[in-house]
Homo-oligomer: A and B are copies of this chain.
Amino acid sequence: MPASGPAATKTKYSFTDDYSEGAHPDVLNALLLSNNSQEVGYGHDSYSETARELIRRQLGCDDVGIFFVPSGTSANAISIAACLRPHEAVIACSSGHIVTRETGAVEASGHKIINVAPKDGKLTPESLTKALDDNWHFPHMARPRLVYISNATEVGTVYTKAELTALKRLCEANGLLLFSDGARIGAALTSSMNDMTLTDMLELTDIFWIGGTKNGALLGEAVIVKDPKLAEDFEFFVKQHGSLLAKGRVMGVQFAELFRDDDSLYFKLAGRANLAAEKLSRSIVGAGYQLSAKTETNQVFALLPQGLVKALQQEFSFYEWEKYGEFSVVRLLTTWATDPAQLERFNQIVLSWTPDAQKTL
Contacts and interface: CB of A to CB of B under 8 A. Distances in A.
B86 A109 contact: yes
B65 A235 contact: no
A2 B239 contact: no
A127 interface: no
Interface string A222-263: 000000100111111111111111110110000000000000
Contacts of A5: 40, 44
Contacts of A38: 9-10, 13-14, 20-21
A37 B241 CA distance: 31
A142 B218 contact: no
A298 to B, nearest CB: 15
Interface string A1-30: 111111111100110010111110100100
B101 A137 contact: yes
Given A7-B40, A219-B250, A31 B28 contact: yes
Interface stretch (A70-78, A187-195, A197-205, A281-289): A70-78
A191 B118 CA distance: 39
A249 B22 contact: yes
A240 B104 CA distance: 6
B111 A107 contact: yes
Number of copies: 4
B104 A87 contact: yes
A34 to B, nearest CB: 7
Nearest to A21: B38
A112 interface: yes
Interface in A50-104: 63, 65, 69-78, 81, 85-87, 89, 100-104
A160 interface: no
A71 B138 contact: no
Contact of A105 (B17, B74, B242): B242
B40 A8 contact: yes
A35 interface: yes
A108 interface: yes
Contact of A36 (B22, B111, B142, B243): B22
A111 B233 CA distance: 16
Given A9-B45, A31-B22, A139 B243 contact: no
A72 B89 CA distance: 21
A143 interface: yes
Contacts of A245: 70-71, 213, 219
A35 B20 contact: no
Most chain B CB within a 10 A radius of its CB, from A235, A242, A243: A242
A313 interface: no
Contacts of A113: 107
Nearest to A237: B87
Contacts of A112: 104, 107-108
Interface of A: 1-10, 13-14, 17, 19-23, 25, 28, 31-32, 34-42, 44-46, 49, 63, 65, 69-78, 81, 85-87, 89, 100-105, 107-113, 115, 137-143, 213-214, 218-219, 228, 231-247, 249-250
11 contacts: A4-B138, A5-B40, A6-B40, A9-B40, A10-B38, A21-B35, A25-B35, A87-B103, A102-B240, A115-B115, A219-B247
